[in-house]
Copies of this chain bind each other. A is one copy, B any other.
Amino acid sequence: MEHHESKFKEFPYASVPHRELMVELVSTVENRLGESLLPCTLPSHVQYFENESATAHASLYVRSGNSSSQVDFILGSWVHCNLPTGGALNITSLSAYLRPSTDAPNFLIEVIRSSPTTLILILDLPPRKDLVQHPDYLKTFYEETQLDKQRQLLEKLPEVKPYFSSSLYIRSLVSPLAILVSIETEPSQAIRIDEIIQDHISPVAKVMLDTWLDLCACTERRLTDDESADLAKRDRIIKNKTIEIDLESSFPRLFGQEVANQVLGVLREIYNS
Assess whether A171 is interfacial by the CB under 8 Å rule. yes
Interface membership of chain A positions 171-198, coded 1 if the CB is closer than 8 angstroms to chain B and 0 otherwise = 1110011000000000000000000000
A168 and B130 form a contact (CB under 8 A): no
Interface size class of A (residues with CB under 8 A): 20 to 34
* Copies of this protein chain in the complex: 2
Interface membership of chain A positions 120-146, coded 1 if the CB is closer than 8 angstroms to chain B and 0 otherwise = 000000000011110100100011000
State the CA gap A237–B173 with chains docked (Å). 20
Task: Say which residue of B133, B138, B143 sits within 8 Å of A130 (CB atoms).
Answer: B133
A132 and B132 form a contact (CB under 8 A): no
State the CA gap A21–B237 with chains docked (Å). 41
Task: Say which residue of B135, B138, B164, B169 sits within 8 Å of A135 (CB atoms).
Answer: B169
B130 and A132 form a contact (CB under 8 A): yes
B168 and A132 form a contact (CB under 8 A): no
B-chain residues with CB within 8 Å of residue A143 when the two chains form the complex: 168
State the CA gap A130–B162 with chains docked (Å). 23
B238 and A132 form a contact (CB under 8 A): yes
State the CA gap A233–B132 with chains docked (Å). 11
State the CA gap A130–B164 with chains docked (Å). 20
Closest to A170 in B: B176
Task: Say which residue of B135, B172, B176, B177 sits within 8 Å of A132 (CB atoms).
Answer: B172
State the CA gap A2–B123 with chains docked (Å). 53
Closest to A238 in B: B132
B133 and A168 form a contact (CB under 8 A): no
How many whole Å from A105's CB to the nearest CB in chain B?
Answer: 12
Assess whether A45 is interfacial by the CB under 8 Å rule. no
Q: A142-B168, A168-B138, A172-B138 are in contact. Are A237 and B162 (CB under 8 A)?
A: no
State the CA gap A228–B239 with chains docked (Å). 27
Interface contacts beyond A130-B130, A135-B169, A143-B168: sample of 7 additional A-B pairs, CB < 8 Å, sorted by A:
A132-B234, A132-B238, A138-B168, A138-B172, A142-B168, A169-B176, A172-B176
Cβ contacts A to B, 7 pairs, < 8 Å: A131-B172, A132-B173, A138-B169, A138-B172, A142-B168, A151-B164, A168-B177
